[in-house]
Amino acid sequence: MKPVKIAMMSLTHGHTRKYYQTLRENSKLDWVASCAEDQAAKDVYDLYDNGVPCYLSAEEMFEKHPDIEAVVLASANEKHLAQVLDCAKRGVHILSMKIPTFDPAEYDKMIEAVDKAGIVCQIELEMHYNPVVKRLQKLIADGEIGKILSVQATNITLSPVWAFPWQGVPEASYGKRVPLKEGDPRFRGGALCDHPHIFDLIRWLTGSDFDFVYSAVAPNLRPDIPVEDMLLVNGKMKDGTAFLFDPSWSRMEERLKVPAPGWEVFPKRMEVNVTVTGEKGSIVCDCFGPNVYHNGAPNDRYTVQYTYFDEWVGLIDEFVDCIRNHKEPKINLRWHRRTIDCMNACYSSIASGMPARV
């Protein structure tokens, strides 16, 4: 199979660096170029010494590398629409970060452009390629615990806003400045926007769609950011499955400009734990554990050293397979739209103080 000539764009997303190893090592890819959003993003990129040229404009990158077939859009959410439209115009396949947009009208434009261009547009929801999630999906599909009655899930992390400031800017993260609720000085665009995974996962586990959600925000752990960092969500799927999610930034962090050892204050900086109760039994699941643990440099704090990082490998494998074999990605724009609808409904519920239909 001819390797896919691939590029990375913007380099301002928190997941940017996680692709580097996969792009270098996978023989089905030929990583030919990158372009950074600005000099600061380029400076960080240069620290990793990838040996791949990096430009400061997408135009220049495409001009110098007309053979680029696909891109990873590692950009702030507000940039996605313009980048998707540009790539579609060029006939370049797209791997988008986890939130293409929160705006339904923008979503329509993206779908139309991608359909018209006949390109692949895959959304990065990397949990699907995690071996523990694969096992969880298999156990449930095999009927080990019977029909699902209830799901509880955490998707809790530290806040990336100090290293990736756009994630704390309502316009860049949510797409516009919308107050969380009357009398609340905060705006949409925080922790919820960072954590779509569990909203997606429950759809796969149940095979059902969302009915309604109820959501509440708590006082921020970081009072100096203008977006929510603590929230809870519960609700029901159309098949009757009840759920409770915690998609907060509830793990504190050192305010580093570049992610590095010692970033976390709480030992485990990222957790996705899922409990599924069925008619015949229950499953409790830690998607990122067990690991190894230490209290060494730089801060001598007890810290989880992760041993799970298959997600990026499987994600890219699917992307290449879709490009070369003309397949539809599992997480495509149309599928993912319902997940975004639910997240928007969470914000509506926060604003109204009432459950919201999805």
Partner 1 sequence: MNLVEMNKALQWLRDKYAVKADGTLVASAPDSIGADAALKLENGTTATLLPWRPERRFVELKKLIDGKTLEDVSTLRFASMSAEQSLEKLLYRELDLCEYLGESPIVSAFAVTGGKTANVIVKLADGKSCSVECSAALPPGTAEMDRHEIIARRGIACDRVVDTQVPQSSIYQFTANGEKRYTDIDTELFGFSNAEILLIRAAFEVLRQPELADAWNKAGARLVRLTEETLASEKNGTPARFAEEK
Residue with tokens 């926007």: 193
User: What gap in Å lies between CA 286 and CA 278, rounded to an integer?
Assistant: 18
Site for partner 1 in 175-204 (CB under 8 A): none
Site for partner 1 in 226-285 (CB under 8 A): 261, 280-285
**Is 325 an interacting residue with respect to partner 1 (CB under 8 A)?**
no
Tell me which stretch binds partner 1 (CB under 8 A): 189-197, 206-214, 252-260, 299-307: 299-307
4-10 vs 281-286, strand pairing mode:
unpaired
- In terms of C-beta distances under 8 Å and separation of at least 24 residues, what long-range contacts does 288-291 make, across chains too? 288/130, 288/132
Q: Buried (b) or exposed (e) across 75-97, using 16+ Cβ within 10 A?
A: bbbbbbbebbbbbbeeebbbbbb
CB of 25 to partner 1, least distance (A): 6
Q: Which of 51, 185, 219, 292 binds partner 1 (CB under 8 A)?
A: 292
Q: Buried (b) or exposed (e) across 33-69, using 16+ Cβ within 10 A?
A: bbbbbeeebbebbeeeebebebbeebeebbeeeeebb
Nearest to 103 by CA among 75, 125, 78, 86: 78
CB of 2 to partner 1, least distance (A): 13
Query: Which of residues 105 and 292 has its CB atom nearest to partner 1 in the complex?
Result: 292
- Cis amide leading into 329 (omega within 30): no
* Direct distance between the N- and C-terminal alpha carbons of the chain, in angstroms, rounded to an integer: 42
Look up residue 275 and give its amino acid: T
**Is 21 an interacting residue with respect to partner 1 (CB under 8 A)?**
no
CB of 17 to partner 1, least distance (A): 16
Query: Could you give the string, one character per residue 144-173, with x where binding to partner 1 holds by CB under 8 A and - elsewhere?
Result: xx----------------------------
Q: Which of 171, 211, 254, 286 binds partner 1 (CB under 8 A)?
A: 286
Q: Which of 86, 171, 209, 310 binds partner 1 (CB under 8 A)?
A: 310
Instruction: Enter the tokens of residue 162.
Output: 């100090």
Query: Could you give the string, one character per residue 71-90, with x where binding to partner 1 holds by CB under 8 A and - elsewhere?
Result: --------------------
Query: Which of residues 216 and 313 has its CB atom nearest to partner 1 in the complex?
Result: 313
Check: CB of residue 213 under 8 Å from CB of residue 342: yes
Establish how many alpha carbons lie within 13 A of residue 88's alpha carbon, considering only the half-sphere containing its beta carbon: 19
**Is 296 an interacting residue with respect to partner 1 (CB under 8 A)?**
yes
**Is 134 an interacting residue with respect to partner 1 (CB under 8 A)?**
yes
**Is 30 an interacting residue with respect to partner 1 (CB under 8 A)?**
no
Q: Using only C-alpha atoms, what is the Rg of the chain?
A: 20
**Is 26 an interacting residue with respect to partner 1 (CB under 8 A)?**
yes
Interface positions with partner 1 (CB under 8 A): 25-28, 129-132, 134-136, 139, 144-145, 261, 280-287, 289-297, 300, 302, 305-308, 310-311, 313-314
